[in-house]
Structure 1
Amino acid sequence: MSANRRLAALLVPVLLAVGGCTAGTEEKDPGPSARQKAAASRPSPFQDCSALGTPPPSAAPAVPAGGGGAALPELSLECFTGGASFALRELRGPAVINVWASWCPPCQEELPAFQRLSERAAGRLHVIGVNNQDSREAAKGIGEDFGLRFPVLFDQGESFKRALERKAIPVTVFVDGQGRVRHVDTSGALDDARLADLVRQHLGLTVPA
């Protein structure tokens, strides 16, 4: 192997961790593994999406300062659990939407923080995942491994990411109580403190970090 090829091979995981993941960078599995086959036979770990069309029961009615905000894309995505279609514009926030995939290392790094956010802000904030260009078996395996319980929408065709005009994941979208997008974050893997700060800044909610 030439020196240039060895250098390129070493740089790939570093670029994935720093700059986000695109669909062309993951290694393709040549076939379903035994773990994936086992995951396919088990129930989904994620909550269903039935509550997303109503505001969280303890959500504050106030709109964060700053005005404006674009509407969510006019898209309908399949709920991972149950398979019902959900129109994004029917979402009643406040909400945090995280776009992730099982093959994306920064996504895996930050997903536990989103689960903790869903627990700490229960009743005040919807936390929603959008699983992006993934297999159901791999996504389910990540949900089981990380103890993810928040609702997840399945977006194998990347339609949500494209509508946001983003090329890489993870992407996190902060949506106010009127269903308006207040902020789209593409800064990389978020930890508890940074996530709590973004929720306070863009949605006006104080959540323990």
Structure 2
Amino acid sequence: MVPDVTLPCFTGGEKVALRSVRGPAVINLWASWCGPCRQELPVMQQLADKAAGKVAVVGVDTGDGREAGASFAAAKGVTFPTLFDPDKKLLNAVSKINLPVTIFVDAAGTAYVNILPLDAAKLTDMVREHAGVAVAL
């Protein structure tokens, strides 16, 4: 199950309870200062583009400054919904210390936490295995 953490939208507005995110979904925790995130984030955007309507993709800018996160996301062409977690609440809730972290949620709400950076092939495999959706990246 996804941790019971509520975070604000990156651009302001309403807060989002992560438990309310219905699967199949992919929740990706990233930061502008994270080297592996720099390679992984464009792959997450690819997933968001190709899986629209089949898999929800949500980003969580983690332990970052808002300006740095916004600049990084813009440079990477990120358009999927992103939450802001400067205090690392979600990262701590899944008992992890390093980024990137990706949480896969299937239609039944079962969550699987991945702690290694993902390339297109690995992300494709994990979305099929842990979210129950076939997407070609």
TM-score, scaled relative to structure 2: 0.96
Q: For 1:143 and 1:203, how far apart are their aligned partners in 2?
A: 24
1:195 aligns with 2:120: no
What is the CA distance between 1:91 and its match in structure 2?
A: 1.1
Opposite residue 168 of structure 1, the aligned amino acid is N
1:162 alignment partner AA: N
In 1: Cα distance, 2:70 partner to 2:32 partner: 9
Identity %: 47
What's the secondary structure of 1:134's corresponding residue? Answer: coil
Which among 90, 105, 114 is matched to residue 175 of structure 1?
A: 105
Q: CA deviation at 1:73?
A: 1.1
2:95 and 2:17 mapped to 1: Cα distance?
19
Look at both structures and tell me which one has the larger radius of gyration over its CA atoms: 1
- Cα distance between partner residues in 1 of 2:18 and 2:109: 9
1:208 aligns with 2:136: yes
Structural mapping, 1:8-157, within 5 Å? 71-157=1-87
Local SS of the residue matching 2:45: helix
The letter of the residue matching 1:204 is G
Q: CA deviation at 1:90?
A: 1.1
- Write 1 or 2 for the structure with the bigger share of strand: 2
Deviation at 1:82, TM superposition (A): 3.1
Q: Which amino acid aligns with 1:135?
A: G
**1:160 aligned to 2:86?**
no
Structure 1's unaligned 5+ residue stretches are 1-70
- Which residue, out of 100, 114, 118, partners 1:185? 114
- Unaligned residue ranges in structure 2 (runs of 5+): none
Opposite residue 115 of structure 2, the aligned amino acid is T
Alpha-carbon deviations, 1:55-78, whole Å to 9, x = none? xxxxxxxxxxxxxxxx21111100
Structure 2 Cα separation of the partners of residues 202 and 72 of structure 1 = 13
Could you tell me which amino acid in structure 2 is paired with residue 75 of structure 1? V
Confirm or deny: 8 A CA contact 2:61 2:86 kept in the other structure.
Answer: yes
- Greater RCO structure (CA 8 Å; 6+ sep): 2
